[in-house]
Amino acid sequence: MDAKSLIPFFSAKGVAIIGASSKPNKLSYGIVKNLTLYGYQGGIYPVNPGSAEILGLKCYPSVGEVPDPVDLAVIVLPAGQILQAIDDCAARGIRAVTVISGGFKELGEEGAALEKQVLALVKARGMRMIGPNCVGTMSLHSGLNTTFISGIPDAGGIGFLSQSGAVLGGVVDLVKGKGIGFAHFLSLGNEADVTETDVIEYLGADDATRVIAAYVEQIRDGQAFIQTARQVTRKKPIVLLKAGRSEEGARAVSSHTGSLAGSHAAYQAAFRQSGVIEVDKMGELFEVAQALALQHLPAGKRVALITNSGGPAALASDSLAVNGLRMADLSEATRTELRKILNPSAQVANPVDMLGGAEPHEYEAALRLAAADPGVDILVPILVPQALVNPVEVAQKIVAAAGETQKTVIACFVGDALVAEPRKVLHAGKVPMVVYPESVGTVLGAMIRYADWLSRLLEGADIFTAVDTNRAAEILGQQQPGSVLGEAQTRPLLAAYGIPLVAGSQAASPEEAAAAAVQLGFPVAMKIVSPDILHKSDFGGIRLNLKNKGEVEQAYLDLMKDTSLRKPGARLEGVLVEAMAPKGQEVIVGMRRDPGFGATMMFGMGGVFVELFKDVAFRIAPLTRDDAWEMIRSTRAGVLLGGYRGSEPADLEAVVDVILRLSQLSVDFPQISEIEVNPLFVFPRGQGALALDCRAILA
């Protein structure tokens, strides 16, 4: 993307409002008004042939007559007039348009067709467009506000983008007046041209934006998102709320966006691989973003709670445990100093409970002592406002102490009206404040996840050069689209990419089978080969432990007879004769192609572990070696195979290898829509892994 093309949306020198109305009950009037209200210094040019002036501003009959400087147009016209308006803007030299109007894809086929025409025109004229069907954008530092939303949030470091205009409006009311600061605030509507990924890339390079927050319903180009987010998150955090995580939520999203959403498993995988911090509650989105915008990242997970009451501290401790943090052990020296300055009845272990009457100076002193303790990474002052202590003064002292430490400080002030002023003081002093003790852990957990991400090396995808791409292409070329490939047909594909297979070969007669068995060495297994029988085991199409030629020949005849009896007409292509592998730990490695993200790799232990315990991990291909390791480790299967409670560690390196090779095969051949190694037998460390069965489906 040419990021420069988006500049006018964030810092236009002049804005034309096409379709501006002089009637105060019209949305376009609201837009003109908002442009005048918040200190915007550029030109404001209402365009409407029916008015001479609006809100004291000269109104132009057409955009062609708007004077310099003008580099952004906001269009609020009926859908049918948009094409003309865009053409007019192009003629006037305007290259950026925000289309507020609805009446496009969100209304069905006809609207979608019009949206396509609009997009084609925008592209033909070399323009960029936000929308259609959006509520505009705000840049809080410049006052550029093309929305009709009443009120604005405070200015600050959060860049927020929303795929829902209503959510954007609701959020303004939620955050207003709380000292939660925004750099930019964008509604992207139907994203016909400018997408969430474009904006994330832009905000990634924007100096005013310290943290990107996003409300997302759908990501259309998953691979582009991952590439962009992986780069941006090295520089600043992305906090994201995704709607449609459940099947029913996804249906709700797709019914109102008119498009098919990918699976949430794929979304989650993409977020993990690109360092995006996913939250699952609207209430958490800005708590987390604000904390990341204001505070230092934690250097560790040890938290000191400094409180005037035990209950909220206990609730905060609970939330720490759930979110992977822990209570710091305060040093004896720290405790001694605390004892000197606090009420003799105060408790100087962690939580430091200074009792209900704790004064502002006690908060400050206790925070300084805890900050100086090398066993503490994070400081959490907690206050429940008390009758005789001024909470604003407590906030001021917390700000003073926080300003002098590099450690992370998050305040929890329990209340509503009583904590409104203290919140402003804290936020102005760069100390994020939460209201509920349970939020302490949520916010810190998210910060820790981001810090962990930054500590990971950003390596490239692992590419195996010794794979036989030509052979794989040849095999796939022989297949019809939509084919289902059984084990016999899938094995050579896997072999071409170096995935270790149990030794075996196909045979079309009892004699061939016996000869194959002799070559493999006894005992052997025998499996029916038929395009009409995919679940060989369920069908009874497998014979194990055949010990000599006679058994092999007999098994061949039995299998053929059985099959033609039980499934008359099934196409029989012979059998696979395979060596009996020693028993290993069984895992599944697979790939399913997601409509939004492409090849999505899967790892799990199979059987009830995947189905009943949902112990399975996904990642989007191409995978880095680190991704593959992290994928395995994120499952309990990975813990088990890694040598749980003294059991012998399995050869996870070999599993990583299979995952990466299958990932590469899936990326190289988009016509494979599903492929699975199941089971993959994994042997003790150093002894490798073997694919015991496999199958694939072509697009």
Site for its own copies in 551-590 (CB under 8 A): none
With contact defined as beta carbons under 8 Å apart, do 303 and 326 qualify? yes
Nearest to 191 by CA among 231, 212, 162, 170: 162
Distance between CA atoms of 648 and 398, rounded to whole angstroms? 51
Which of 311-319, 519-527, 542-550, 554-562 is the region at the interface with its own copies (rule: CB under 8 A)? Answer: 311-319
Q: Which lies closer to its own copies via its Cβ, residue 366 or residue 667?
A: 366
Pick one of 139, 164, 190, 228: the residue that binds its own copies (CB under 8 A): 164
* Nearer to its own copies among residue 166 and residue 458 (C-beta): 166
Instruction: Return the residue of 345, 406, 470, 480 that touches its own copies, per CB under 8 A.
Output: 345
Segment contacting its own copies by CB under 8 A, of 221-229, 434-442, 673-681, 688-696: 434-442
| Smallest distance, its own copies to C-beta of residue 247, A | 7
Answer whether 666's CB lies under 8 Å from 672's CB: yes
Percent of the chain that is helix, strand, coil (3-state, to 5): 40, 20, 35
- Under the binding rule (CB under 8 A), the answer on residue 454 touching its own copies is no
Closer to its own copies by Cβ: residue 464 or 644? 644
The nearest distance, CB 312 to its own copies, in angstroms, is: 7
Q: In terms of residues, how long is the chain? A: 699
Q: Does 170 bind its own copies (CB under 8 A)?
A: yes
Per-residue mark of binding to its own copies, 517-556 (x: CB under 8 A): ----------------------------------------
CB closer to its own copies out of 245 and 272: 245
| Identified binder of its own copies from the candidate list 55, 57, 83, 107, rule CB under 8 A | 107
| Inter-residue contact 68 to 93 (CB < 8 Å) | no
Whichever of 415 and 498 has its CB closer to its own copies, that residue is 415
Structure tokens at 648: 């012998």
What Å distances lie between residue 420 and 176, 249, 364, 536, CA to CA?
12, 34, 20, 67
Q: Which is nearer to its own copies, 68 or 416 (CB)?
A: 416
User: Site for its own copies (CB under 8 A): which residue of 50, 406, 416, 466?
Assistant: 416
d(CA 430, CA 423): 10
Q: Which of 191, 615, 651, 674 binds its own copies (CB under 8 A)?
A: 615
Q: Binder to its own copies among 163, 563, 585, 624 (CB under 8 A)?
A: 163
Rounded to a whole number of angstroms, the minimum distance from the CB of residue 268 to its own copies is 13
Q: Where are the alpha helices (DSSP H) in 101-215?
A: 109-124, 165-175, 196-205
Tokens 């291909």 belong to residue: 621
**Alpha helix positions (H), 154-216:** 165-175, 196-205
Query: Is 606 a binder of its own copies (CB under 8 A)?
Result: no
Angle (CA) 348-354-356 rounded to 5° is 155
Contact between residue 17 and residue 47 where contact means Cβ atoms under 8 Å apart: yes
The encoded tokens of residue 160 equal 């927020």
Count of H-run helices and E-run strands, the chain: 25, 32
Residues 244-303 that bind its own copies (CB under 8 A): 244-249, 251-253, 255-257, 280-283
Where in 212-231 is the site for its own copies (CB under 8 A)?
Answer: 215, 217
Decide whether 441 or 679 has the Cβ nearer to its own copies.
441
Q: Segment near its own copies (CB under 8 A), from 54-62, 433-441, 511-519, 583-591? A: 433-441
Tell me the site size for its own copies, rule CB under 8 A: 87
- Other Cβ atoms less than 10 A from the Cβ of 526: the count is 26
The dihedral formed by the CA atoms of 381, 387, 393 and 399, expressed in degrees to the nearest 10: 10
> What letter would DSSP give residue 287?
H
332 binds its own copies (CB under 8 A): no
Q: Which of 545/647 has CB closer to its own copies?
A: 647
Residue 136 near residue 98 (C-beta atoms within 8 A): yes
- Phi-psi sector, 698: left (phi>0), alpha (psi -120 to 50), beta: beta
Q: Would you give the binding string for its own copies spanning residues 120-159, x where CB under 8 A is met?
A: ----------------------------xxx---------
Which residue in the set 313, 399, 475, 667 belongs to the binding site for its own copies (CB under 8 A)?
313
Site for its own copies in 355-384 (CB under 8 A): 356, 384
| Closest to its own copies by CB, 201 or 217 | 217
Q: Which is nearer to its own copies, 415 or 531 (CB)?
A: 415
Contacts of 537 (CB under 8 A, 6+ apart): none
Instruction: Please list the residues that pair with 681 across neighbouring strands.
Output: 586, 690
Question: Which of 65, 173, 452, 558 touches its own copies by CB under 8 A?
Answer: 173
Q: Which residue has the tokens 């069907």?
A: 133
Cα separation, 625 vs 457, whole angstroms = 11
The piece of 226-234, 436-444, 664-672, 681-689 that touches its own copies (CB under 8 A) is 436-444
Alpha carbon separation from 473 to 468, 469, 601 (Å, rounded): 9, 6, 20
Q: To which H or E segment does residue 232 belong?
A: helix 222-235
Kindly identify the residues of this chain, within the stretch 175-194, that bind its own copies according to CB under 8 A. 175-177
Q: How far is the CB of 220 from its own copies (least distance, A)?
A: 17
